[in-house]
Chains A and B, each alone.
Chain A
Amino acid sequence: MIDEFRERLLNRHQVAAAWKEQTGGKVLGTFCCCVPEEIIHAAGMLPVRILGEHEETTEVDIHFPTNLCPYCKSCFDQALKGKYDYLDGFVIPNVCNVIKSMYGFCKLLLKAPYVHFVEVPQRLSSNGVNFFAEDLVEFKNSLEDFSGKQISNEALRNSIGVYNENRALLEEVYQLRRKSPPLISGSEAQEIVISSMLMPKEEHNRLLTQLLDWVESRDNLPGDGVRIFISASVLDDTDFLQLVEECGGMVVADDMPMGSRYFYGSVDSTGDALHALADRYLNKIACPRKMLPDERLAFADNMMKDAAVRGTIIHNMRACDPHLYEYPLLRQKMESKGLPVLFFRGEETETEREQQRADIEAFIEMLED
């Protein structure tokens, strides 16, 4: 049953294209967790997260320099290769320098009919929430123009409800990882979260409900690997967590955008819908670009609570400034809690898989010693 999630992840392009055909609806590609997907959902469209691939980039290198976020470059490479031709548009949030620049690059190099920039504030404040809420009105208006349909407040509240349900169900899944031994492995959990970003939320909720039913009687348990916590920047597929499992570890809790940071924190069910969205998407997503260290580290702490972890892996994508600046503090915090740290500076293609394997094996052996 659990394989359904991996299926959707591996076949994501077909999943989205099929949805388009069946419903006649539009699909919008997003970068980053801070795009309030509920509004897209309320417009009857399907938001999908754009992901990279573990292949050499061939098209993007004449457009982007080398020392840049490998994830963004890979995503753009996929788009240039035509893998995302089924998308009707892109929604780009105001996050980091590279993602911000995707707005201009999408307009320049990809002939998409719709490219919208969401002015997510760059610091957490009440000024920011108010502004964000107003900017979301612009976003809603532009989606209405593009879809030709009005988005009622009811529709928005309904979408928020569906998304909140997804968040609650994913939290339950995460509880299953904390058990000893875990009922769901790290790579499985990540597959479950990422697949949520790639398909209609209602369907994902349905699958999650089935999963929660099935898992208690699961007979192929993930195993008892050394319990690890991971704090990462973008890890857009499960290869890395699988590697940890191959080496005898098990990632039982995480602090990363393609994991906990995507779904933790629900949208307030009272008050103005757009304001509630602005509040959740600004204040509850633990992104080091905006959230200051104290709160960021508190989030990481919270994610590992009751998970009985023995060591922490910190994996930062190369050239990812927000995470690289946070690294010394995060490392210090982990070590002060008595958790040894293993640091990786990653690439999208991960050609250093064997080197990583050696380091992870050493780390696991060190923790077991």
Chain B
Amino acid sequence: MLVAGIDVGVRNVSAVVLRDGDILSYCILTSGEAGATVSRRAVEKAIENTTFDFTDLRYIVATGCGRNGIPFANRQSTEVVCQARGAFHLLPSVRTVINLGAESSRAIRVGEAGRVEAFAKNDKCAAGSGLFLETMSTVLETPVELMGELSLKANGWEDVSSICAVFAESEVISHIHRGVSRDRILVGVHRAVAGRILETLGTVGIKSDVMATGGVAKNAAVVKELEDKTGFSIIVPPEPQIVGALGAALLAQERAAKS
């Protein structure tokens, strides 16, 4: 049985095609204006890599903040449930999922059956998010993909201590003017991001195994800071951005099996 899950995020749309419980293919596209169009294209592109057709899909579930604007989806599901489902499928021993998204980060506690026990979101402050890192990338004139790696090689760090994203930005700028090395500032930035995420985790409580998902999970420095601060080792799946879509696809499978 062929099903698909779509995660319509702020930055990216990802689509996962599942066949009898196995990931057949996936696709990640950058979201433009028309969420439905991009989402459709993401599914089609994923399908292209298989021997199947869009019409072979039995059931489609959409998640992510744009989930309600997908007319071709059979059902919508919330990100929390999808992240938990997807993470559990990849690692049945997972008990905490830290989803590091573009606009917000959320912590999800997962029970033994892969069901959500508790969740908390940090969205009041931009400083824990991917968009913040993108801003920093511009300010520090460093591509986002290299930030983590450069940070890990640095010698020490410069504190970016402000609690507020706006202040943090001006703090970084003043560090640059003072001639502090970019790599040291990067470490400070990553520490700050991890610090914000930590508050969210506190509400939910951390239990191992811990998995990080979402685009920011690709930043090895943020993950390392989180590991240092929590004392837990954190697993990052090979493609952390598709975990939500995977969960949606799994839900699609469950639904399709019932009908």
Q: Do chains A and B touch in the complex (CB under 8 A)?
A: yes
Task: Give residues in A with beta carbon < 8 Å to B.
Answer: 331, 335, 340-343, 345, 352, 355, 358-359, 361-363, 365-366, 369
Residues of B within 8 A of A335 (CB): 118
Does any Cβ of A come within 8 Å of B41's Cβ?
no
Residues of A within 8 A of B115 (CB): 366, 369
Given known contacts A343-B120, A358-B79, what 14 new A-B pairs fall within 8 Å (CB)?
A: A340-B116, A340-B117, A343-B203, A345-B124, A355-B123, A358-B78, A359-B121, A362-B80, A363-B119, A365-B77, A365-B80, A365-B81, A366-B81, A369-B116
Closest to B78 in A: A362
Q: List 24 A-B contacts (CB under 8 A).
A: A331-B203, A335-B118, A340-B118, A341-B118, A343-B120, A345-B124, A355-B123, A358-B79, A359-B121, A361-B78, A362-B78, A362-B79, A362-B80, A362-B81, A362-B119, A365-B77, A365-B78, A365-B80, A365-B81, A366-B80, A366-B81, A366-B116, A369-B81, A369-B115
For chain B, give the interface size range: 10 to 19
Measured CB to CB, the closest approach of chain B to A331, in angstroms, equals 8
What's the Cα separation between A335 and B117 when bound, in Å? 9
Query: B78, B118, B203 — which one has the most chain A CB atoms within 10 A of its CB?
Result: B78
Contact with A along B76-88 (1 / 0, CB 8 A): 0111110000000
Measured CB to CB, the closest approach of chain B to A313, in angstroms, equals 12
Query: B77, B117, B118, B124 — which one has the most chain A CB atoms within 10 A of its CB?
Result: B118
Task: Give residues in B with beta carbon < 8 Å to A.
Answer: 65, 77-81, 115-121, 123-124, 203
What's the Cα separation between A335 and B109 when bound, in Å? 12
Measured CB to CB, the closest approach of chain B to A226, in angstroms, equals 13
Residues of B within 8 A of A355 (CB): 121, 123
Residues of B within 8 A of A359 (CB): 121
Measured CB to CB, the closest approach of chain A to B57, in angstroms, equals 22
What's the Cα separation between A361 and B65 when bound, in Å? 12
What's the Cα separation between A341 and B203 when bound, in Å? 10
Going nearest first, the 5 A-B pairs with the smallest beta carbon separation are: A362-B78, A362-B80, A366-B116, A365-B78, A365-B81
